[in-house]
Amino acid sequence: MLVNDKIYQTVWIEGSTVYMIQQNLLPFKFEIHECKTYWDTCMAITDMTIRGAGAIGAAAGYAMAQAFLQFRDSEKAISIREARQDIENTRPTARNLFYAVDRVYKAGLISPESAMVEAQKVAQKDASDSKTIGEYGCELFKRKTNVLTHCNAGWLAFVDYGTALAPIYLAAKQGKEVFVYVDETRPRNQGAKLTAWELYNNDIPHIIIPDNAAASLMAQGKIDIIIVGADRIAANGDAANKIGTLGRAILAKEFNIPFYVAAPTSTIDINCATGKEIPIEERNQEEVLFQSGIDANNNPVQILVCSPGSKALNPAFDVTPSKYITGIITEKGIVKAHHQSIKKLMEEV
């Protein structure tokens, strides 16, 4: 993706150092964050310097490769197993994290160099899958389409292109008229901060809406289609995504609006029979109680926006039952969100 006239991916590795776009500073400041050790990379995943299923997966794969390089010699086996545990403990919901770590771990048992090659493959496959998802998803767009999206499943959430936003970028490139309603996505505002920044940089017409405006816009017939990403999809098609997604899906059914989930097959967890088994991360209450931004002098600020002394609940994801999902846009095509279609799809991977 082009930023300040330079092409970037969200995360990459040079030698044994992992580089990533510092997403906690966006959209106010564009900075590259460096992770010299696997532990630095773990910290960056935990504090959401890097976030979004595919990007987390790529970073976790690189972290595993870094661990193999770091523990090349002494007490190797124990340290590597501990490192794997550390990486897997960073964030629990995104399936891509576990998928990437498993692939790189197995390759690393051959040699640290094999781990590095595998980590690169995982990352580049994430980018190419996203590109293909864009091509399939784009076919859902008419000459003129108003789309609503939740959170950020753009290129920042993956290595490149994104999933929910990839069809939007491609449709606009093909000359279709696309207008995007961007849910702000409380509490961390990935929609208002990241999706809006991506769309603005790509000259895609869009508007940020408060999360609670979505129902009214749907009732007024202003939304033609909803596309969201996913952090984990169960074998029966239930999909975990950023908190608030479930509400959009239920509304979409009520107002007869197609509701699509865009995700690579690496997000599908066939070992999770239904969405009930997907682990849902609960994050720090500070994310709800405080909001971050910049002041009039461009200095970063954090302000308390809730009644002092009250506590907050902060579940990061919810699960949308498959019955609300019109289809899942994958790199293998658009499939129905039910058990047989997903089983068949995963046999082809």
Cβ nearer to ligand MRU, comparing 115 with 332: 332
Instruction: Tell me: does residue 228 bind ligand MRU (CB under 6 A).
Output: yes
Instruction: Tell me: does residue 35 bind ligand MRU (CB under 6 A).
Output: no
- Rounded CA-CA distance 73/180 in Å is 52
Instruction: Tell me: does residue 241 bind ligand MRU (CB under 6 A).
Output: yes
Element (H, E) at 14: strand 11-14
Q: Of 231, 238, 269, 318, which is the active-site residue?
A: 231
Instruction: Tell me: does residue 20 bind ligand MRU (CB under 6 A).
Output: no
Instruction: Tell me: does residue 275 bind ligand MRU (CB under 6 A).
Output: no
CA 314 to chain CA mean position, Å: 18
- Rounded CA-CA distance 228/39 in Å is 31
Q: Which stretch binds ligand MRU (CB under 6 A): 3-11, 35-43, 224-232, 302-310?
A: 224-232
Other beta carbons within 10 Å of 171: 23
Instruction: Tell me: does residue 9 bind ligand MRU (CB under 6 A).
Output: no
Minimum gap (Å) between residue 51 Cβ and ligand MRU: 3
Cβ nearer to ligand MRU, comparing 158 with 179: 158
Minimum gap (Å) between residue 158 Cβ and ligand MRU: 7
Other beta carbons within 10 Å of 323: 12
Cβ nearer to ligand MRU, comparing 115 with 230: 230
- Rounded CA-CA distance 63/39 in Å is 8
Cβ nearer to ligand MRU, comparing 184 with 231: 231
Number of residues that bind ligand MRU (CB under 6 A): 16
Q: How far is CA 290 from CA 187, 188, 275, in A?
A: 9, 9, 30
Residue 260 contacts residue 224 (beta carbons within 8 Å): no
Binding residues among 296-325 for ligand MRU as defined by CB under 6 A = 316
Minimum gap (Å) between residue 204 Cβ and ligand MRU: 17
Which of residues 190, 265, 320, 330 is near ligand MRU by CB under 6 A?
Answer: 190
Q: Which stretch binds ligand MRU (CB under 6 A): 57-65, 66-74, 126-134, 227-235?
A: 227-235
- Provide the 3-class DSSP secondary structure of residue 304: strand
Residue 328 contacts residue 343 (beta carbons within 8 Å): no
In terms of residues, how long is the chain?
349
My answer on whether omega of the bond before 187 falls inside 30° of 0, hence cis, is yes
Instruction: Tell me: does residue 53 bind ligand MRU (CB under 6 A).
Output: yes
Q: Which stretch binds ligand MRU (CB under 6 A): 128-136, 149-157, 217-225, 285-293?
A: 149-157
Binding residues among 150-169 for ligand MRU as defined by CB under 6 A = 151-153, 157, 163
- Rounded CA-CA distance 349/329 in Å is 15
Whether 224 is catalytic: no
Residue 234 contacts residue 323 (beta carbons within 8 Å): no
Residue 39 contacts residue 86 (beta carbons within 8 Å): yes
- Rounded CA-CA distance 278/314 in Å is 17
Binding site for ligand MRU (CB under 6 A): 51-53, 151-153, 157, 163, 190, 228-231, 241-242, 316
Q: Could you list the active site residues? A: 231
